[in-house]
Amino acid sequence: MGDIALITSGKGGVGKTTVCFFTGVALAALGRKVLAIELDTGLRGLDIMAGISQQTVFHLGDVTEGRISADRAVVPCSFCPNLHILPAPFTPGSPIVPQKLFELCRAASRFYDYTLLDAPAGVGEGFRVGAYAADRAIIVTTPDIIAARDAGVVGQLLDDFPNIASRRLVINRVEPRDIAKSSVRDLDEVIDLAGAQLLGVVPMDHTVHLSATTGAPLPAKGLPARVFANIAARLEGAYIPLDVQ
């Protein structure tokens, strides 16, 4: 059975969808089969990052409400065929039935090595539905105490979900010069507030934004691609020291 991971944050706009997508790409590059499911109803983004916005006909709601089978609704990423995308319902506020998502994720985990659930901002229904279905969480924050404190709140709320066996932290949008001169110790306060074990530190980098908004891969030799490759390797259980991204 594959892993089912919820990508969540509390605070909006910190990079959940970006981290979800490029982590999925990096896992796929390791030969893993990955499904990314977007829970942000009406506020889609994964389809653009994957370069498939013209091909998405069906969505998560079509699957959970039984109108179409999952294999007909998922679309492979335009540049990474091992990564499949299931877009969020197109209508804002469409409810996702927790049990249906749970069953879909369990069925997906027989076929996919990783099912990544891209949660919406906040700790409302989308977060809860995702937390109910997942078996681990990746909490995303930016390196500021407001986002980090929200990440900590999310971590506490995840205590209500005993199915979430582990939680890891990605600190996103860290200034590269800070990464270069600092060590994990300098991010200690953020890690303490967020209350989760560090999985990766992603630089603030225009190529991340450019790739995400044009549906293209990250430049292969750039720092962001290396960082996501390391995140994927750590999820796979490899030991890669965090001081070097």
Name the site residues for ligand ATP (rule: CB under 6 A): 9, 12-18, 40, 45, 120-121, 172-173, 202, 204-205, 208-209, 212-213
Q: 213 — phi, psi (to 5°)?
A: -85, -15
Residue 197, token pair as written in the block: 């074990």
Q: Which does 172 bind (CB under 5 to 8 A by kind): Mg ion, ligand ATP, none?
A: ligand ATP
Choosing from 9, 10, 15, 17, the residue that interacts with Mg ion (CB under 5 A) is: 17
110 vs 206, which CB is nearer to ligand ATP? 206
H-type helices in the chain, by residue range?
Answer: 16-29, 46-49, 60-64, 70-73, 98-108, 125-133, 145-158, 176-181, 188-194, 206-214, 223-235
Residue 12, binding choice from Mg ion, ligand ATP, none, Cβ under 5 to 8 Å by partner class? ligand ATP
Minimum gap (Å) between residue 238 Cβ and ligand ATP? 22
Q: How far apart are CA 104 and CA 224, in angstroms?
A: 31
Distances (CA, A) of 106 to 67, 100, 220, 232, 244: 19, 10, 33, 21, 35
41 binds, among Mg ion, ligand ATP, none (CB under 5 to 8 A by kind): none
Pairing mode, strands 75-77 and 80-86:
antiparallel
Does 44 participate in binding Mg ion (rule CB under 5 A)?
Answer: no
Q: How far is the CB of 230 from ligand ATP (least distance, A)?
A: 14
Only segment of 10-18, 103-111, 202-210, 217-225 that touches Mg ion (CB under 5 A): 10-18
Task: With CB under 5 A as the rule, give the number of residues binding Mg ion.
Answer: 2
The amino acid occupying position 162 is P
151 binds, among ligand ATP, Mg ion, none (CB under 5 to 8 A by kind): none
Q: Is 158 helix (H, G, I), strand (E, B) or coil?
A: helix
Residue closer to ligand ATP by CB (options 106, 182) is 182
Q: Is 197 helix (H, G, I), strand (E, B) or coil?
A: strand
Q: Which is nearer to ligand ATP, 120 or 130 (CB)?
A: 120
